[in-house]
Amino acid sequence: MSSNSSNRGIDWPWSSYIAWQNHCAEAFYNAPKHLQQSILPWTFAALVVNEQNSNNPAAERAIVKHESYGKQLGRISDALAVLIKNSGTEHDDAFDAFLELKANVDFIKHNTENTRFEVVIADLKRLRENNPTRFKDCLKRVAALCPQPVNSPADGASNAPTA
């Protein structure tokens, strides 16, 4: 007494397999038709340096190993800002745009110094727990950076020089 119309709510045993095949076929259809990747390139923030875009990628890798692109650009920016300041020429839009860019980069660098300092503090706390001797050596090195002892407000002393 059963009919095909009464079984429509129940999946046929192969329905999920066919749906999976359709899904895979759609994925392959949407995949890129041509894939090309050079072997052993190196990247810097999505910049790929290889034989196709550099005359001497080995030299670039050696240079960046010692002097990062960021450091190179920072030095060039510092020098260019001095040249602009001392040139005596009227500033135009290009100079102003560059000096604004440099000011923004300097601001970001200053803010990251604070973050790096907090990381150093966390590392010192960990070092104090794990290796007290090394911790004391590190504190001596930090103290050597100060020409005279620094007292914190918690010490009850002021930092003003005494006469």
pLDDT at 119 over 70: yes
Nearest to 80 by CA among 105, 62, 59: 105
Q: Give the pLDDT of residue 133.
A: 95
Top mean pLDDT of 58-67, 110-119, 146-155 is at 110-119
Tell me the sheet residues that pair with 43.
Answer: 48
Report the C-alpha gap between 130 and 17 in whole angstroms.
57
Residue whose entry in the numeric block shows the structure tokens 């590190």: 138
Greater model confidence, 147 or 131: 131
Start-to-end CA span in the chain (Å): 112
Q: Give the pLDDT of residue 1.
A: 47
Report the C-alpha gap between 147 and 151 in whole angstroms.
13
What's the pLDDT tens digit per position in 2-26? 444 445 555 667 777 777 787 777 7
Report the C-alpha gap between 44 and 57 in whole angstroms.
13
What's the pLDDT tens digit per position in 24-70? 777 777 776 666 655 555 555 556 666 667 778 788 878 888 888 88
Which residues have C-beta within 8 Å of that of residue 7, sequence separation ≥ 6?
none
pLDDT at 105 over 70: yes
- For residue 41, give the DSSP letter: -
pLDDT at 82 over 50: yes
